[in-house]
Amino acid sequence: MESLGCKAAISHLGCAAAPRIARSLLPGLRIPVSPLKHGRSLLIRASSPGNPVPVSNGNGQRKKNDALQETIFQLEGLLKEPGEVLNDIGGQLSAKDLQLVLAYFAEEGRDSWFALEVFEWMQKTNRVENDTHQLMMSIMVNWAMKLVEQEKPVEQVKALLEDMYCVGLTPESRIMHSIVAAYWEKGKASEALTFVKEVMSSKWYQDRADDPLQYLIVKMVSSKQSKQAIRLVTEIRNGGLPLKGTTYSAAMLAAVHEQEQLSFAVHQLRKYQKKGVISIEGSDKSIRTYEASLHRQAEQFTQWAAEDEQSQELMPTIYERLLAMYCLAGKGLDAERSLWKLKLAGRSPAPSMFNTILGICAFNNRAEDAYRIFGKMEASGREATKLTFSVLIGGFIKGGNPAEAASAMSKMLERGLRPEVPEMLVVLRSLRSADMVPLYMTLAKTLSDEGLMEPRIMYFYIDSIKLCIIRLL
């Protein structure tokens, strides 16, 4: 082989990389070579000292730089170890020249592994600048995306990320997100999940803030696969892989979306049932069972996050999403419990949260619970507003309790808050429909005394004796 001008060279990256392919002496023919024991493959290529490799710039013109051409020629020719070549000639190359070398090997049809070799040498000699780092990161993103597009095994994509880490190039979040997104958009959800699990089990991934699982969950939620996302988080957690606080937060987001879809579906079913189109009598138990299971899973995510020291900063967000889920489900007491957990976690609940819970309790005809929360809200320094009473009154009306709605309106008037005309008319009509005459008369007189409505004429007609009794309120 030496007589033919060929020389065997062994790759020497900082740690094991994926097996390479050796070049034969015949152009265009590649011979697979088994990996060496230390994880490197043997590369053989014919060299021709009188035929230097041309280098192209962005305009397609040849770069007239002997040192640059000689570096690329010797690297591709494998006349020496890549490190030896760069030690001999690298001192003659500027930072821009080294970037051209990286760009050259990143071109289509080149062996991009040489780019990793060059970058590793630059790291060791402290010649990596910010521009170089960004260039190399862009090269690696394109390389990884090509592997995904070519449907290479997930293990090969993971091995590329490990090689990046070995040469001092930490895979950024955008690389992992781009890979997950590429798999997802190609309809390869299983490959996306496998990739995430492979990354999470890698040594280089430990103690990093990146969370590809969180990104995958958000993708699933946006594709209306919240149920599958919740199951996925549970399976991975039970499988022993440690989860980050961002994963629990995303899981709670999935729970909120799942509850939203469930509540909407149940509302539509009730609507069609009232029209007589369908009957869901036998489905009520199944719906309640599924909803209870969803809430247990959400509570479990919250508990796991609370037990994780690194998730404490995200606990307010997690409790906020737990509260939102119970609000959508119409669970006033559970929502109240979540509200105070949120407060204990250090985040002051927004006034809208109190209003929402009050409306839920009122809708479920839990007047005692509603006024208890009302009192706690005011005790915490949040004074009830006109909107607070409007939500309370609306909840009682929709829940079929006009008496409590009238009582809430009276309390509203005692505080000097003036309800809107449509609101007053709704309460009065509800009292009239429910034949609650004394309450109707009392509320109508109060509203008239406050100057909020004109005096009303009230009449009773007794059919049997054809008697009409008229009274001015």
- Extents of the domains making up the chain: 1-128, 243-345, 350-473
* pLDDT tens track for 313-342: 899 889 989 988 998 888 888 888 888 888
pLDDT of the residue at 282: 67
Query: Over the chain, what is the mean pLDDT?
Result: 78
Residue 151 banded pLDDT, cuts 50, 70, 90: confident
Within a 10 A sphere around the Cβ of 66, how many other Cβ atoms?
10
User: Of 7, 12, 37, whose CA–CA distance to 22 is shortest?
Assistant: 7
CATH architecture of 350-473: Alpha Horseshoe (1.25)
Between residues 328 and 232, the one the model is more confident about: 232
Average pLDDT over residues 41-52: 36
pLDDT value for 60: 38
Distance CA 99, CA 121 (A): 13
pLDDT number for residue 207: 65
467 or 374: which leads in pLDDT: 374
Per the CB < 8 A criterion, the answer to whether 235 and 241 are in contact is no
pLDDT for residue 252 is more than 90: yes
Assess whether pLDDT exceeds 70 at residue 276.
yes
Mean pLDDT of 7-15: 37
Residue 40, both tokens = 């490197």
Positive or negative CA dihedral for 204, 209, 210, 212? positive
Higher pLDDT, 108 or 118: 118
pLDDT at position 226: 93
Taking the chain, what is the end-to-end CA distance rounded to the nearest angstrom? 115
| 341 vs 353: CA distance, rounded Å | 13
Q: Which residue has the higher pLDDT, 47 or 174?
A: 174
Residue 92 pLDDT > 80: no
At residue 471, the pLDDT reads 65
- DSSP letter (8 states) at residue 129: -
Strands (E), 16-84: 21-23, 30-32, 42-43
Residues 272, 239 contacting (CB under 8 angstroms) = no
- DSSP H or E run through 442: helix 437-449
AA identity, residue 395: G
State the pLDDT at residue 48: 38
Residue 435's pLDDT is: 85
Q: What's the pTM?
A: 0.67
Q: Measure the CA–CA gap between 23 and 33, rounded to whole angstroms.
A: 9
For position 55, what pLDDT does the model report? 45
pLDDT of 52 > 50? The answer is: no
Q: What is the pLDDT of residue 229?
A: 94
Type of residue at 205: Y
Cβ pair 396, 429 in contact under 8 A: no
With vertex at residue 111, the alpha carbon angle to CA 105 and CA 114, rounded to the nearest 5 degrees, is 65
**Which amino acid does the sequence have at 460?**
F
Least confident of 280-289, 348-357, 401-410, 459-468: 459-468
How do 457-462 and 30-32 pair as beta strands?
unpaired
- Residue 292 has a pLDDT of 93
Residue 394 or residue 445, greater confidence:
394
- d(C-alpha 120, C-alpha 112), whole Å: 13
Q: Which two tokens stand for residue 119?
A: 């970058």
Instruction: Tell me the average pLDDT across 216-239.
Output: 92
CB atoms within 10 A of CB 321: 24
Q: Looking at 36-50, 98-112, 190-204, which range is the least confident one?
A: 36-50
> Could you give the 3-state DSSP secondary structure of residue 350?
coil
Q: Which amino acid is at 118?
A: V
pLDDT top residue among 466 and 56: 466
For residue 282, the 8-state DSSP code is: G
Residue 461: phi, psi to the nearest 5?
-120, 120
